[in-house]
Amino acid sequence: MSPLLDIQHVTYSYPIPTGQSEKDSPVAVLRDLSLQIREGEYVVLLGHNGCGKSTLARLCNALILPDRGHVLVDGYDTQDADQIRTIRDNVGMVFQNPDNQIIATVVEDDVAWSLAVRGWSRAMIKERVEAAMAAVGIAHLRDRLPSKLSGGQRQRVALAGILALRPRCIITDEATSMLDPLSRQEITQLLHQLHQEQGLTLIQITHLLEEAALAQRVVVMEQGQVVLDGPPAAIFRDLDLLRSLKLEIPEPLVLAERLRQAGVPLSPEAITLNAIAEELAS
């Protein structure tokens, strides 16, 4: 089966701002990067600030085009102008700040917005909006003003608006980074659940290692390239390597490392507090 997202040898540099001299030649932000994501995968794309994660996300949605190489979405090349609509329908994006995505003054209308713009029938809009609000747990907030909701609730509204379009893949770009730790965990848990229940292909972009524990696959970037790719337990094995990639090691992993050093046998799967507690108890 061909991958849903096929990033082939992509190199990308941002254009030099006008007024700056040509000799400030652009530095490649992505360098010969290849990555394949299959339908139904839950991938966390990890890397410290500035390594190129958001640039990669923009390439997947045809917001920018590669200088060299190709990005294929369900077989369609993002450089094919005729397919941009199809590509954007297939790949939904959720950004850091939900306020940039919220348009309407009432929650339900906001979730319906992109469907209404497409001129779909009322019945179809109603059905999809209900399903999307239920999936993210905001049906009870339907009549509220988004501006009066908490950050976590507003991010759920933004996510529902994307889900209502029924994309095959959702890319969340630091969608939890403006939230408090509890809402952050809740949104990560929600994304995990949407993947499990709806079979959604999910790419969760973050600089936080702790958000990677629930993923099936973790892809780590550094300076515009993929440097690690594997299941969380394998990625979390070499904490010194992760430290050298400027990633902050989450507390459960530090704890597991100390326990192992003290002679407590823990499996590589002991990457969350729950998993550690279960292994200690047995």
Ligand X SMILES: Nc1ncnc2c1ncn2[C@@H]1O[C@H](COP(=O)(O)OP(=O)(O)O)[C@@H](O)[C@H]1O
Per-residue contact flags (x/-) with ligand X for residues 80 to 109, judged by CB under 6 A: ------------------------------
Q: Which does 152 bind (CB under 5 to 8 A by kind): Mg ion, ligand X, none?
A: none
Per CB under 6 A, contacts with ligand X among 187-246 are none
Q: How far is CA 67 from the centre of its chain?
A: 23
- Got the DSSP string for 47-93? --TTSSHHHHHHHHTTSS--SEEEEEETTEETT-GGGHHHHHHHEEE
Compose the 208-247 pattern: x for residues touching Mg ion by CB under 5 A, - for all others.
----------------------------------------
The one segment of 35-43, 52-60, 228-236, 274-282 that binds ligand X by CB under 6 A: 52-60
Question: Cβ(271)–Cβ(253) under 8 Å?
Answer: yes
Pick 29 or 170: Cβ nearer ligand X: 29
Pairing assessment for the beta strands 225-230 and 30-37 based on DSSP bridges:
unpaired
Tokens describing residue 132? 């999307």
In the bound state, the residue with its beta carbon closest to Mg ion is 54
Interface segment toward ligand X; rule CB under 6 A; list 44-52, 93-101, 134-142, 183-191 = 44-52
Contact flag: residue 183 with Mg ion (CB under 5 A)? no
Beta strands in 88-239 (DSSP E): 91-94, 169-173, 201-206, 217-222, 225-230
The residue from 37, 44, 52, 54 that contacts Mg ion (CB under 5 A) is: 54
User: What is the distance between the alpha carbons of residues 100 and 94, in angstroms, rounded to a whole number?
Assistant: 10
CB of 231 to ligand X, least distance (A): 22
Nearer to Mg ion, 53 or 217 (CB): 53
Any bridge partners for residue 8, and if so which? 70
Question: Could you count the other beta carbons within 10 Å of the beta carbon of residue 254?
Answer: 11
**Judged by CB, which is closer to ligand X: 169, or 247?**
247
